[in-house]
Structure 1
Amino acid sequence: MQKIPLTIRGAEMLKAELQQLKSVARPEIIAAIAEARSHGDLSENAEYEAAKEKQGFIEGRISELERKLSVAHIINPQEIHAEGKIVFGSTVTLEDLETEEHVTYQIVGEDEADIKHGKIYVGSPIARALIGKEEGDTAEVQAPGGVREYDIISVEYI
């Protein structure tokens, strides 16, 4: 089975979601199903159907999170010894050569990616273009609007 890379923060987020689903959402939906059953005929009971559908979603998500956590390869960026190379978990500051705008991204796993918070998925075009490069290099990224070039200003493992 293929390992799923996660930062420590990403693993904690998944564990927290799993705990919430198991301790809050699951009991709530079980109570909702019991309440809907008490209303009688299940064949025409929309509340019951909606609750069963939601239960299916919750149980599916619980299974998915348990599977991901069981095959997770948790990486602490502070313990990376990549000699300045960009790797999973690195925090990278870039300068867009066209706009001269500076942006900072951390390269993370799929479940923790959030561009608004500067977290980009390791499989994204920009992350793939950065992996293996070092401070001072230039990365070419194939974007929807064409090729964008970025100077790598700094690489940190925080």
Structure 2
Amino acid sequence: MNKSMDIALMGMLLGIMVISSWISIPMTVPFTLQTFAIFLTILLLGTWRGFFVVLSYIALGLFGLPVFSGFKSGFAAIAGPTGGYILGFLLTAIVTGKLLEFLPDKKIYRYLSMFIGLVVCYAFGTFWFVNMYTKAAISFSRALSLCVIPFIIPDVLKILLADYIAKLLKKVG
């Protein structure tokens, strides 16, 4: 892929990431399509270009553009209860991308790579929620029941969708 196409794809995936965060159902941690966008980005761009897109997304939000769920932005959005999940997207990009590079390019390994990346995001975000936001006023198991368990099935469906769309786009491109 040439550099112009690469930059255009990165920009489009950044746009998809922003739009995916705006499609939101309010809950303790809002239900969004962000993880779908992150997995699609990593599948199409690889580890480091995908990481850069995720980092750009977070930077846009920190600089005041309303790119986070609920059209939030700024440091307060990162310092809030979902900030750990937003920052966890960076770890998800690295872990998922590196596993995709290391493991054979078979469907089961792509799913496994994305699921492990998702678990990393869950762990980081839930740790943040318990220790940074609630100041340990809530148990880790209670935080899991609020912030992780309701999202497992939808997130697995997002993994399947991201893989399906990435495969279609790779055939076309």
TM-score of the alignment, normalized to the shorter chain, above 0.5: no
More strand by share: 1
More helix by share: 2
Task: Report the structure number with the largest CA radius of gyration.
Answer: 1
What TM-score do you get using the length of structure 2 for normalisation? 0.25
